Amino acid sequence: MSTHFPHLPPGGRPGIAGKGAIVTGGTSGIGEAVSRRLIADGAQVVAMAVGEEEIETAHERMPGLVDAIRVDVADPGAVGAAFAEADRLLAGAGTTLGILVANAGISIRHRFVDITPDEWRRVMAVNLDGVFYCAREAAVRMIQGDGGVILMTASTNGIVGHPLYADYNASKAGVILLARSMALELAPRVRVNAICPGYVMTPMQQAEYTPEMLEAADEKIPLRRHAQPGEIAALFAYLASDDGAYVTGAAIPIDGGELAGGLASRDWLRAPGSGVAAFPEE
């Protein structure tokens, strides 16, 4: 994946260049794209992730990365220790934390009645609790320092219902309201926004969907395709920069027009291979 972004100003983007940034889930998918974009914009980036192999290969795959830290964001003690280590790393790079991208998340594709309590708790623990733990650590530092920006990866699934993802949907709806509540409390020193991607061609998406399901999803998106992770990263970069200085408390869809027609999931209830056929109409 290229790290070249031809339209950026020399020396980095105002509001990002020289800032310390933490990206959770920052070594794969959307998170990796955001890490790469912030590095290209001139930020000093520390990536956090739970996958050991992702951490070990992060420097090779993302030149310019300050470092990568292995952490389970669902563990508040581990999050605190990881942020303390990030403080040390960023200080060594001559900066402090000014940007948090709370992106780490998981998904388990099940019918609602088949979700186990352990699965429900794990999705909530990573997708919502983990965002809270990381955002709290960042907010304390930013309030005591020079302010900053906290960006959270939510989803269009947190705005409208979507079958087979009740736990994921609920967690992402929580992220949106967490961001809005924090934005009110932390203004004007800290801006907080939630970004709501629609369908994005990430490894997680490709693992959960068959080629036929991907094609069916593309057919219901007005732009007729999934987003590329770099397109999502560009929105994060805008919101982290001085260009986005008047945006806070927002939940911003980036979905190829998916939500423009109303209920995004309307065509899935009878779509071949949707997995909902166990509940036929009577």
Domains and CATH numbers, the chain: 20-259 (3.40.50.720)
Beta strands, E only, the chain: 20-24, 44-49, 67-70, 97-102, 148-153, 190-197, 251-254
- 269: pLDDT confidence band, cut at 50, 70 and 90? very low
Q: pTM to 2 decimals?
A: 0.90
Catalytic residue positions? 168
**Residue 143 Cα distances to 84, 131, 147, 148, angstroms:** 16, 18, 6, 8
And the tokens for 54? 């992702």
- 262: pLDDT confidence band, cut at 50, 70 and 90? low
Mean pLDDT computed over 223-236: 96
Least confident of 24-28, 57-61, 105-109: 105-109
